A and B are shown apart, each in its own frame.
Chain A
């Protein structure tokens, strides 16, 4: 029942389930020894099922979000980096929007994923481009155990005339001579009318917006008798957000559509994966019938082979060799509207060695991009289990790794401003960590995780205002910080209680003076990166009735490179009460939520007020 746990634990064998029939290819984070991994626990996934990932991660991790509010874009700053320095992997595939190289976290639902993990620090060698500050790992998993059909439906009604509807089913077939099938379907539809009863808060306008979000997730799995497994994963999204909808001249609409599907087959330690990703972005002002249009298709093929060897004394070697080819096809009005194609390829070798006390990983990746090759990217990391007793555990970890980012399509192809001669950004990340667990009595469990890191990024791209915002490799950024989190859990009879405290100190600054006025910038904290970020979560439950309080406290965020202006600090507190409900034979759960409990004034990056205290009532039936 621990809210979240630090990663040392994750590096140990255990959480990766090996099916009885075959050895499944393991997740890339398995090759991230020495690095911190935080898995969001299932209680939180249930509790946040009507919310988006920026809302969950802001309350449960030190990730900072640059938020426009009201269903508009929310981008991440992970360990003091830019939004395009976080890799977002959906079942192993990077789904960052290729035009901007980033993900709008307000479009990532919490619902529908079976596992959400946050991998801290560079993972360029294991993941590829973008994994400079960290990675977000979203995964759907088959459930072969629970044979049958399990439908579920949910609805949440919130303040401001907002409503969310979800429906889905999980299904698992009987094992037959041929094999066994399983799957899951989830559809969701969110309507944010955002009818605020006030026009402004504390003299700051609330920006009028409406947002509609629809999505479908379809996962099908088939495992055959020969030990192979087919997976077909599909995730379709269609989101639209309109700013100033009532203003027929000034209204602006951004519509994003995502089509993501992948088919993989795993057998005999081979994994073959093919995928198709399409990102569509339409932006229009006033007349929505003639938007500025962007479309990018990606066709992906990946082949991996795993080698395993266990020595006589129980030490295990694991090597994964892989190769990937992605074909890009993009047509963007801002690039001139013509078809641009390019090919990207990656070759990688991931090694893991595990003994009783030690886990080491050593990885190497080389990316190839048309007219543009990223650097060779190695990494090395180790977990050392210093103390391993039943009630006490202490694990130290250390890692060092390179990372890189292939410039986005916008950065290279945008008319006039893009720069086809950009170099890849290169990062060098080193970190040290210590994870402890302690169980003073059977009723109590405590964990603590401390990490310090230093991440230097060279050739950081910058839309240079000196040159009319042409993009250049101008900056060099040093991000360093300390993260601590502690959890406590108590259980006695039908009572449960616990909590989590997280604190992050982040210093991220520009090192190079590239012109006369850049000396006002050197050494200053990067915009929108809070120096101090604290999150708190406490819960108590009796039987299945659970009360949770969660809070985030962030220091001010500078809005300029010279730190001459800032957005005020944030204190946001949410309260959630959930209780089981019996509807005849059907299991149900009722969840009431108070957001921004203390009605705090929070400004978004456009200096608009975010909404005050609001309420939501949700009902989930089944599952």
Chain B
């Protein structure tokens, strides 16, 4: 393949990838205290997507909330690379799951690691895991991984339905595949249900019964419904087609649809809850004629009757964003290019001032707080 083609398709690919990193479950271990602190016990895991065709996504670790960064922590422990784009990370009952998306078909995987050391405990490989998108804990020792399955070319990128790989964390095996919408993407766990969004052009949210691992129902909401999470009052928020939809998580009755009133060339990304789930941040960005990306970050509260775009929360667009649940600090990823390390810029939640900027690795696009 020639260089330009590589770069061009990478661009199209990347732009399809502006995904949100939903706040992950926060697990505290109640086991006997470990006498020796492990290297990655407490801090922030930064997900660096990497450059797609270089297969060089990594995890960085910010010790506690300091400015000390350990880079490529999986490689540091296991003396090998993950060899793919970094697609997701979550911790399930004492084990971490890293989603790795390789540029070559059939080489994707999920690495299961010890959470304190990131020592590899096992690998889930293709065809069980193909184009993994997100991993969540659904119950004790059970994880769901959304997967696109094998993708096609750009004329038909999602030739397959997506699926959820049901992982038994004890045996570290995929025990079942649940077919869902094509382009299966983000999940939100709500009681005994898992709500599954998608980016493949379908309109319904898929509802899974997590006890039986079967599809329970589909809820039509709008194009590419993206479940954001449950807010402080237990209401479910879903993003679809420039609308923030608030709905009853149990009955699925739509409460309100808040329109993001903007032009067609503006894209929505980086949707994440603020501290205490009282507000929602999102980014709006567009490509200028000269190819530069211009964008800002906005915020609205879960009680707002409409979304105001009058004053951006931060006049900048990021390659990833999340809020530290312990103190509300905003972690924002900056990607100067996919061929050099990016930065994490930390903002104070109250006055929106920049606290500091930390150099991490390529394309910081997600965060996991522990």
Please report A residues at the B interface, Cβ cutoff 8 Å. Answer: 73, 83, 97, 99-100, 102, 202-205, 207-208, 243-244, 246-247, 249-252, 254, 281, 283-287, 292, 294, 334, 410-411, 414, 416-418, 463-470, 515-517, 520-521, 527, 559-562, 564-565, 605-608
Contact = CB atoms under 8 A, between A and B. Distances in A.
Contacts of A416: 291
Nearest to B360: A564
Contacts of B152: 249-250, 285-286
Given A606-B54, A606-B103, 12 more contacts: A250-B105, A283-B2, A283-B5, A410-B4, A466-B336, A469-B8, A517-B340, A559-B56, A564-B361, A565-B58, A606-B53, A606-B102
Residue with the highest number of chain B CB atoms closer than 10 Å, among A246, A468, A521: A468
Contacts of A246: 106
15 contacts: A102-B3, A249-B105, A250-B105, A251-B105, A283-B1, A467-B292, A470-B291, A520-B359, A559-B56, A560-B339, A561-B339, A562-B341, A607-B84, A608-B83, A608-B107
A89 to B, nearest CB: 21
Q: Which 5 A-B pairs have the closest CB atoms?
A: A250-B105, A468-B291, A517-B336, A467-B291, A465-B337
B71 interface: yes
Given A467-B290, A468-B291, A564-B71, A414 B340 contact: no
Contact of B80 (A203, A208, A254, A294): A203
A254 B160 contact: no
Contact of A99 (B2, B81, B359): B2
B3 A560 contact: no
A249 B159 contact: yes
A30 B183 CA distance: 61
B54 to A, nearest CB: 6
A607 B104 contact: no
Contacts of A83: 3
Contact of B1 (A73, A208, A521): A73
B243 to A, nearest CB: 27
B153 interface: yes
Contact of B153 (A285, A561, A564): A285
Contacts of B104: 205, 207, 243-244, 250, 606, 608
A418 B7 CA distance: 12
B83 A204 contact: yes
Interface of B: 1-5, 7-8, 10-11, 51, 53-56, 58, 71-72, 78, 80-81, 83-84, 102-107, 123, 150-154, 159-160, 287, 290-293, 336-341, 359, 361-362
Contacts of B361: 564-565
Residue with the highest number of chain A CB atoms closer than 10 Å, among B83, B151, B361: B83
A467 to B, nearest CB: 3
A258 to B, nearest CB: 14
A422 to B, nearest CB: 13
B341 A560 contact: yes
A417 B83 contact: no
B340 A520 contact: yes
Contacts of A559: 54, 56
A202 B79 CA distance: 10
Contacts of A292: 5
A527 B51 CA distance: 13
B339 A527 contact: yes
B3 A466 contact: no
A34 to B, nearest CB: 33
Q: Is the interface of B mostly helix, strand, loop or mixed?
A: loop
A129 to B, nearest CB: 17
A413 B219 CA distance: 46
B151 A281 contact: no
Contact of A560 (B2, B287, B362): B362
Given A527-B339, A565-B362, A608-B83, A469 B7 contact: yes
A294 B5 CA distance: 11
Contacts of B293: 468
A414 B55 CA distance: 25
A102 B287 CA distance: 30
Contacts of A470: 290-291
A204 B83 CA distance: 7
Contacts of A418: 4
B56 A250 contact: no
A202 B339 contact: no
Nearest to B362: A560
B355 to A, nearest CB: 19
B153 A286 contact: yes
A281 B2 contact: yes
Contacts of B7: 417, 463, 469
Nearest to A241: B1
A282 to B, nearest CB: 11
A207 B1 contact: no
A356 B84 CA distance: 61
Contact of B287 (A281, A287, A468): A468
B362 A244 contact: no
A250 B105 CA distance: 5
Contacts of B8: 334, 414, 417, 469
Contacts of A281: 2
A221 B364 CA distance: 61
B150 A517 contact: no
Contact of B340 (A244, A464, A562): A562
Nearest to A204: B83
B26 to A, nearest CB: 30
A170 B167 CA distance: 65
Contacts of B290: 467, 470
A517 B341 CA distance: 9
